[in-house]
Amino acid sequence: MAAKRLYEGDDQKENQDQQGGKRLKKLPSFSTVIRDVIMAKSLQNFCLALEPLLRQVVKEEMERKLAQGALMLPRSPQRQIQEEFSSLKLIFKKQLNLPIYTFSKIDDEEGDHLQIQIIDTLTGETPVAFYRLSNLKVEIVAVNGDFPGDREEWMATEFNNNIMREREGRRPLLLGDVSVTLRDGVAYITNLSFTDNSSWIRSRHFRIGARVVPDSYDGPRILEALTERFTVKDQRGELYKKHYPPALGDDVWRLDRIGKGGAFHQKLGAERIETVQDFLKLLVIDPDHLRVMLSSMSDKMWEGTINHARTCPIGSKRYLFNDPYYGNTVFLNSICEVVGVILHGNLYTTDQLPIQQRAYVQSLAKQAYYNWDKLEETEFSLPANALLPKLPAPQGLMASSSWHAANQEITTVTEFQIEGPNESQLFEAAFSLDCFGSKTHPD
């Protein structure tokens, strides 16, 4: 038993010696310590020498990253426009002829083809260099009516993002000359129409735009052209379209501010004013009565209707009316305006008549108005700058006081005529002069 314990004790001592030996091996030698110190010093010196270079590299990299981030940030429209734009611009030379209906040809306000021109905004003229270009392609597109707001310039991407396309399953929104070529800085659009109305887009309005076809031109940016905003109505609405200018035979509701079947249309119809010609004839003969008929119209609406009616071409037709009492003749145009009168066998214009005789002639025009269907059409034409004889003075009255009294009476009646005399007053004024014949006033 004792020997066994001795063995165990020797074994433990041996283990302790082994552990102590290991602990001695882990201690660094003097040379190792010196080497480590030298390496640390060298590394420190290296880092100190490398620091300026690292700082420069980091600085340059940070600046590069910051610059890239700045490019990704949104820039102000003014800054973008300044960077992207030149002074070149496409324009439509004239406004559109409105309203516009689907499948109807689009013209300018004078009824001519739409015209596009390239100009330099600094001079307002086409640059000389572009007179030599014959291959600058221009595309015609429909644009959202809300674009570009109140701005006069925009980016190409903004313009492109507001181009309107046809609805799914429909024909192209624009038909006709959707691609034209500038020649001497100008291009004409001879045939262009919409295939769809504008009610399906949020703005309810379109514009027509013109842009240089991408990749067809290598030069300074050319700003796109835009028309004013407008609505496009269905073609069936053209049945109710106003005519510019109206024709004599057009229904009276073709005039501005008079709607078909509306209150004004009904009031005019009740007075047998059915056509534009009827409207103009009454406007010439008795404008006050016409105004009373449309008394619910505001003054602004009245002026608009009258101005529109006066654009109507009246043609060259002439009509004559004979005075059944004195045999004098008046010649009238298609809207009952007096263009000439025969008194005592001589032809006169209304401008050559004294004021007193003009009242008489106007009374004849009024009679002609109420007997329009009985008038005789004639080939009457008044020579330009014709020298016509003067209207003879009444015989036997020039030297007498009765002439002066009659003249004073007519002057008084003429003043009344400005305010609106009745027909009997005009006849009394005319008959008081002895220059329309020898017949006496009929009972």
Element (H, E) at 161: helix 156-161
Residue spans of beta strands (DSSP E) within 114-205: 114-120, 136-144, 163-164, 174-176, 179-182, 186-189, 192-194
Predicted pLDDT of residue 404: 34
210: which strand partners?
A: 140, 225
Reduce the DSSP state of residue 120 to 3 states and report it: strand
Q: Which pLDDT score, from 0 to 100, does residue 26 have?
A: 58
Longest dimension (CA), the chain: 190
Q: Cα separation of 359 and 324, whole Å?
A: 17
> Quick one: DSSP state of residue 122?
T
List, for residues 269-301, the tens digit of each pLDDT value: 999 999 999 999 999 999 999 999 999 999 999
What is the distance between the alpha carbons of residues 248 and 283, in angstroms, rounded to a whole number?
13
Q: What pLDDT sits at residue 86?
A: 76
pLDDT tens per residue across span 309-333: 999 999 989 999 999 888 899 999 9
- CA gap 30, 387 in Å, rounded: 141
pLDDT number for residue 95 = 93
What residues in the chain have per-residue pLDDT under 70? 1-30, 33, 37, 41-46, 49-50, 60, 63-85, 129-134, 237-239, 380-443
| C-alpha distance across the termini of the chain, in Å | 182
The pTM of the whole model exceeds 0.85: no
Instruction: Supply the pLDDT for residue 39.
Output: 74
